[in-house]
Structure formats: C-alpha cells, structure tokens
Structure 1
Amino acid sequence: MGVNCGQLGNNLPSPSRSIVLIKSLKAGHVKHANPDILNALEGTNIQVSIMVPNQLISNISSSQSLANEWVRTNNVPFYPKTLTHYLLVGNEIFSFSSNQDRQTWYGLVQAMSRLKYSLKIHNIRNIKIGTTIAMDVLQSSFPPSNGMFRSDISIPVMKPLLQFLNRTKSYSFLDAYPNFPWSGDPTNINLDYAFLKGNQTYTNLLDQMLDSVIFAMTKLGFPNVRLVIAETGWPNARDVDQIGANIFNTATYNRNLIRRMTSKLAIGTPAHPNVVIPTFIFALYNENQKGGPGTERHWGLLNSDGTSVYEVDLTEKRPKFD
C-alpha cells in the first residue's frame, strides 16, 4: 500500500517530518513526491513515483533534448539513493478536451518513449513509465463486461498507449473513487457495496470499476496489462450539501481497502483473479489550499498537524481498531 503525498496546504509538516509520519503509517510507496520529499526519502526503503506535469508533455514529445534535460534535473540527482519506481507522464490528461489538451493526448506516447530513452542513456533501467487515467476514459462501464473506451480516444490514443505499456511491461494507472458514483446515485447504489462489502455477483463497487477498465483494455487486444490504483479513498468531511463524507465512512472504506489489498492470498478482481493490485490511498494530508467543494480539502489520513484523522495501518498488521 502507498499514499499520495499532496502538498496543497500552507500549514503542512516539513518534508522530514512527513517522512517520519509516512513511516509511522507503514507505507511502502509515496506517489507524487516533490524534490524536497525526494531528498528526505534518501536512504529509506520507501519506493517513490514522480510525475511529469501535463503542460510539459507536448514539448517533451517533440524534443529528445528536453526529455533528457527533464530526467537529468528531476531523476538523476536522486538516483539511486532514493528508490524511484514509477515515472508518471501526466495526470488524468483525457479528462480535458480543449484543442491544446488534445495535442497533449496525441503527444503522450511519444513523450513516454523519449523519457524511456532518456532513462536508458542515464543508465537507469528499473523505472516503469506510465500515465494516470480517470474513470471518465470510459464510454460505457456497466455492466463491467460492457466496458469500452470513449470513441474519441480509443483507437487514436488508448491503443498506442496500451501497446507501449504492454511492450515495456508497465502498468495502467487508474484513479478509482467509489465515493463519486455512490454519492451521485445513493438511492440505487448500496453504501455497503461502495464500502467493499456485499453479496452480489460483484461484491463491491471498486471491483466493478476496475473490471470495466480491464474489459475495455481487452477489447483493444490488451487483456494482460496490469492495473495500479493510482488514487482511491473517501472524504472525511464535507460541505452541508454533500453526503456521505465523514470520518466513520472514510475509516470504513480505507480499512476495508487495506484489508483486501494486503491479503496474503492476492484477491484481484473477477476478471483478473489472484492478481496483486498496487494501490495508493489519497491522500496523506487534509490540504487546505485545494479548490472546489469542501470534500476536496478533506481526503487525508492525517490532519495538517500530523495527527491521525482516524487510526489506520497500511500493512493491516496492527490489532483491529474500534
């Protein structure tokens, strides 16, 4: 289990204190680490993912020298003392569709290829390259066997992306939040189902979401590209007009998630049973400078002063909590 290390707050602990807190949670991986966090992780056994910002993808796709410079600046200084494991090229780029955004779509795989070559010439060979997608890449998602990518990205973008991931034995990184479909339709989606509990053919909403993407990938000819859950979680507070966001629900969802993903016998999903799914909880902190509704600022395992929002252990090895 890993944790997303967002830093959109003006009252958050220092990088060195953050590492102490991450260790206390028994996290094995940190996602979206900035340079200060990378420095603080030096010499630890915690694996790291770093990200190329969306706005740089188009330029890197057209320039090997820019790709080389990005790797030289953002990866080489920390290697190998910091264990960088994933390089994510952009975040949810298919969720935006202006003309400029579409340029980014079409430059994505070329940028990934250039960055892979840059890692090679710097003799860095143990980093997987991917990109993070959201559930809105799907045109159809229910039932999961009907999973299908949107027509505007399926053949021109998703197919070459999956070809790259398959060839390089990398992963498809997916942001999957059962809270969003449940809060949009609480009458028809049972809360226990969203909490990874139930007794239907699909026992939980997260498996249903993951398998809809797996079926979509299969229809393009890539059934064996493995998934990473790049972000998932449940908000612990809300605005008055939002539902279901409270500490009890957050603790219930995340504890069930951890129990499932750290099972000694890998569970996988109905479409991909017995497969380990690396998973990152969003997020380390409640972040007071994030925009949008109240839930946006309340996804943290920890408060801004480093205290726990609720008791949690990412290894599921501590005694059960009340």
Structure 2
Amino acid sequence: MRAGHVKLYNANPEILKLLSGTKVQVSIMVQNHEIPGVASSQALADKRVRNNVLLYYHGTMIRFVLIGNEFSSYNSTDRDHQLWRDLVPAMCRIKSSLRSNGIHNIKGGTPPAMDVVESTFPPSSGRFRSDVAESVIMPLVRFLNSTWSHFFLDVYPYFPWSQNPGDISLDFALFRGNFNYTDPTTGLTYTNLLDQMLNSLIFAMERLGYSNIPLLIAETRWPNSGDIEEPRANIYNAATYNCNLIKKGKLSPSVFIWFPSSVN
C-alpha cells in the first residue's frame, strides 16, 4: 500500500521539493509558537503562504495547511489558553491569503489529540471537554463546515487500552477481529477500538449541531517500546497494529477519511 498523504510538522523546503511531481498529497503545518503572530497579522499570514505554499504549489500537491498540533493537550498556562483563542483567527487569515492568491483547493484544519473528547465510552456518550467545547471547538467546527474541510485527529488506541487493560481486549485494540462491542444506546457494533474512538468524536460533534464534517486521521500508531509501566508497548504489537491498519485501509479507505456514521 503506497502512501497517498504525507503530514509535515513544518514546511520543510527540501521535502516539499522532493515531493514535486509526485501524486502524494501533502499537509504542511503552522507550528504552535507561530499561531499568535499569524492570528494577529494578515501580513504575516500572507508571508507564510508566500514562502510555504506559493513557492511549491505548482509542483507539489499541497492540500492542507494545519494550524498547530494537539492544541488541547496544552492547557496549564495563560499562553496555552491564548493559543486556543488564536487558533481559528489564524485559520481564517491563512484561508483569506490562499483565496486572495486564487487558491481554493487547499483546506485548513488542526489536529487535536483524543484528549479533546471528555467522554468516549460508550461512543454514543461522546462529548467535548467543557473547557474547550464552546470557546474553541464550536468556532472550529463552524470554520471547518463553512470551508468544506475535515476534522483532523491524532488517535492512539494504545492509550485507552493501557489505562483499562482489564476492560478492553488487546485483540480489539489491535484489529484482530475476534471481539465485538455493541453500544447499548445506538445498537452500533464495533469490531475495533479505533472505530469506537472515532465515532465518539462524531457523537461529540453531533452534540454541537455539526454531524456532517468528515474526520481525517492525522496520526495513529502503537508504541514499539515503553517503560515498565507501559504494558504491551513492543515491536510485535506495533507491527501487528500497523499491518492490520493497512489491511483495514485497503478494505475500507474511509478509515483515513472517516465519515459520520461509518462503522466498519
């Protein structure tokens, strides 16, 4: 299975040049520390687009500009909270700059971690954390909905499994397919933990009134090593997760672009 998408954590010029002429769709990123400046200055947003998009756009298939990474995981300082407030304004400025340059096929977004969701089990109970739901997530989903973009997500089934190894089957987390879970509220049946986690976010978005925004997985994996308190983080399980994820992607490409109510 060849990679069709690449996520960069910056706008590395060497990588963007190497990808020129390929059919690989590329996501570039405005890093967290850059967000306040872009949010407050259209001139700076224009400069970012000029240097990181326009220089490569005609040769490299840049399709997404991600604003920050896992913003919801940083919440202990006033600076973190300011980052939350600057997130969507920065997206709007980047989008405005792209449009002013006649570019309409590059989407904006941001990939939070699963900690943005307060409740994930059962999936039908999914809801966003109270500290970000109205102030950050609501403006974000409005932006994504109005620009026909995706809700990006960094999702790691290892974490909920490792916190509840007695309640969640390892086979369920590794796509080994001999365990199912049925949500008692909806009757939806899940064959793996990844789908269950993703659908909890779908239900969280429905609670805000936005049920039609597709999800796109920005990151997912199983750790290949860990400390003594991190069970089953090893090369074998990492390889099992990756191989089974690829098989799932071949059978159902929507695992990477995951649409509401799509349970596999």
| SS of corresponding position for 2:99 | helix
**TM-score of the pair, normalised by structure 1:** 0.74
Pairing 1:57-206 to 2, within 5 Å after superposition: 57-97=35-75, 98-196=77-175, 197=177, 198-201=179-182, 202-206=190-194
Shift of 1:269: 7.3
Query: Which segments of 5 or more consecutive residues in structure 1 lack a partner in the other structure?
Result: 1-24, 276-322
C-alpha displacement of 1:95: 1.0
Aligned to 2:234: 246
Relative to structure 1, the CA distance from residue 45 to residue 209 in structure 2 (aligned partners, 3 Å threshold; closer, same or farther) is: same
The residue identity in structure 1 corresponding to 2:6 is V
**Once structures 1 and 2 are overlaid, which stretch shifts more, 255-264 or 96-105?**
255-264
> In the TM superposition, what is the alpha-carbon distance from 1:59 to its structure 2 partner?
1.4
User: What amino acid sits opposite 1:262 in the alignment?
Assistant: K
Matched, 1:26 2:26: no
Counterpart check, 1:37 vs 2:18 = no
**In 2 relative to 1, CA 139–264 (structure 1 residues): closer, same or farther, beyond 3 Å?**
closer
**Secondary structure of the corresponding residue to residue 33 of structure 2:** helix
Contact 1:139–1:148 (CA under 8 A) maintained in structure 2: yes
CA RMSD, Structure 1 to Structure 2 (Å): 2.0
TM-score by length of 2: 0.89
Q: Distance in 1 between matches of 2:48 and 2:254?
A: 36
SS in 1 for 2:232: coil
* Counterpart amino acid of residue 80 in structure 2: D
1:214 aligned residue: 202
Q: Would you identify which runs of 4 or more consecutive aligned residues in structure 1 move more than 6 Å?
A: 267-270
- Deviation string 1:259-284 (CA, Å, 9 cap, x unpaired) is 11221685787962279xxxxxxxxx
Distance 1:256 1:244 in 2: 16
Structure 2: which amino acid aligns with 1:124? I
Paired residue secondary structure (2:6): strand
In structure 2, C-alpha distance between the alignment counterparts of 1:227 and 1:265, rounded to whole Å: 12
Contact residue 214 and residue 259 of structure 2 kept, 8 A: no
Query: Match of 1:224?
Result: 212
Shift of 1:203: 1.5
Contact in 1 for aligned 2:16/2:60 (Cα 8 Å): yes
1:144–1:53 Cα change, 3 Å: same
Cα offset, 1:168, TM superposition? 0.4
Tell me by how many angstroms 1:130 deviates: 0.4
Answer whether contact 1:131 1:173 (CA < 8 A) is retained: yes
SS at structure 2 position matched to 1:169: coil
The whole-number CA distance in structure 2 between the counterparts of 1:243 and 1:139 is: 24
Number of matched residues? 251
Deviation at 1:44, TM superposition (A): 1.2
Bigger relative CO (Cα 8 Å, ≥ 6 apart): 1
- Tell me how far apart the structure 1 counterparts of residues 219 and 253 of structure 2 sit (CA, whole Å): 22
Alpha-carbon displacement from aligned partner over 1:3-49 (angstroms, at most 9, x marks no partner): xxxxxxxxxxxxxxxxxxxxxx6211111162211111111111111
Q: State whether residues 116 and 128 of structure 2, in contact with CA within 8 Å, keep that contact through their aligned partners in structure 1.
A: yes
More helix by share: 2
C-alpha change, 1:34 and 1:215, in structure 2 (3 Å) is same
The Cα of 1:53 is off from its aligned counterpart by 0.5
After superposition, the Cα gap between the structure-2 partners of 1:266 and 1:156, relative to the gap in structure 1 and judged at 3 Å, is closer
Contact 1:207/1:270, CA 8 A, preserved across alignment = no
Please tell me whether the aligned partners of residues 207 and 269 of structure 1 are also in contact (alpha carbons under 8 angstroms).
no
In the alignment, structure 2 segments of 5+ residues that lack a partner are 183-189
SS of match in other structure, 2:111: strand
